[in-house]
Amino acid sequence: MISAGCDVGSLTAKGLLLNESGILASEVIPVSGRPTRAALEVMNLVLKSAGLSMKDVTHLVGTGYGRKRIDFAHSIESEITCHGMGAWWGDHSIRTIIDIGGQDAKAIRVNHEGEVTRYVYNDKCASGTGRFLEIMAEALEVPLDGMASEEEKSTRDVHISSQCVIFAESEVISLVNEGVPVPDIIKGLHGAMAARAAALARSIGIEERITFSGGVARNGGVLRGLEESLGTSLVRTGSDPQLNGALGGALIGARKCGVHVKPPGIMEEEHGTVQAGH
């Protein structure tokens, strides 16, 4: 059995392949132009790196913002279902998932079998989504990937009072003009972003343990801020948080074929939650 997950987001498309014993390959590409084309491109890429072709795929699940445009998918699942499953698979003790993507933020509660019980979603306001950090990185002339390491040079706490991206951008520019060091501003921005995500999660009630997924979860500064805001340490499942949706899709695809893929971190049944991570 080969199961595939194809997650076409607003900014990136992700493809992942699974067989009975685990993940075979995964790829991430930027979305330019039509979702259908991005889906095909990322799937061709991931199949190539696994040495397979499309006809080898038993079941392909499409998910993400562009899911309805993936015409070669066998089934379509909501992002929420896929993210819930993907995160829970990495560690069965996970009950709450905070996911921040390029254009949305969500908090998902799952039960002991990885099924979604509650969720909340923000895509109405850019604040609290990855777009917030992108715009701030541009304003500060720091590469987005370099934000977290810049934060490490911070020596002083700076509070960012604006929630709106537009107003926060002006606030950041004034802070720079006042001579506030960039690492301090970045730490403040990560804290603001984390506080916003924590508030979203609290609105559906938080049950431990918690994990953080989506593209923004790769930013260690926001992760730190989130742990501070929530007052607890988060589960690091060891898998790429950006691939969570595609992974969940592929896992659901496998289930549809009657296959329950065992997570890599679980060594023995009685150590149900032993997992790889930092």
Task: Give the interface with another protein as residue ranges (CB under 8 A).
Answer: 103, 124-126, 131, 135, 162-167, 174, 177-178
Q: Which is nearer to another protein, 82 or 193 (CB)?
A: 193
The nearest distance, CB 85 to another protein, in angstroms, is 28
**Bridge partners, residue 181, by sequence:** none
**Bridge partners, residue 105, by sequence:** 100, 122
Report the C-alpha gap between 250 and 6 in whole angstroms: 8
Specify the amino acid at residue 271. Answer: H
The nearest distance, CB 144 to another protein, in angstroms, is 16
**Bridge partners, residue 3, by sequence:** 18, 59
Enter the tokens of residue 207: 């049950």
Q: Which is nearer to another protein, 169 or 228 (CB)?
A: 169
Tokens 């009072």, located at residue: 161
The nearest distance, CB 11 to another protein, in angstroms, is 11
Q: Which is nearer to another protein, 21 or 161 (CB)?
A: 161
Region of 251 on the Ramachandran plot (φ > 0 left; ψ -120 to 50 alpha; else beta): alpha
Measure CA of the first residue to CA of the last residue in the chain; give whole Å: 32
Report the C-alpha gap between 31 and 13 in whole angstroms: 6
Q: Which is nearer to another protein, 131 or 190 (CB)?
A: 131
Q: Which is nearer to another protein, 117 or 174 (CB)?
A: 174
Enter the tokens of residue 152: 């490490």
Number of C-beta neighbours around residue 170 at 10 A = 12
The nearest distance, CB 138 to another protein, in angstroms, is 12
Q: Which is nearer to another protein, 38 or 126 (CB)?
A: 126
Report the C-alpha gap between 172 and 189 in whole angstroms: 9
Q: What are phi and psi of 203, to 5 degrees?
A: -65, -20
The nearest distance, CB 96 to another protein, in angstroms, is 26
The nearest distance, CB 135 to another protein, in angstroms, is 7
Q: What are phi and psi of 213, to 5 degrees?
A: -135, -175
Q: Which is nearer to another protein, 155 or 177 (CB)?
A: 177
The nearest distance, CB 166 to another protein, in angstroms, is 4
Q: How many CA atoms lie within 13 A of 51 on its CB side?
A: 0
The nearest distance, CB 133 to another protein, in angstroms, is 12
Q: Which is nearer to another protein, 21 or 177 (CB)?
A: 177
Tokens 């499953």, located at residue: 85
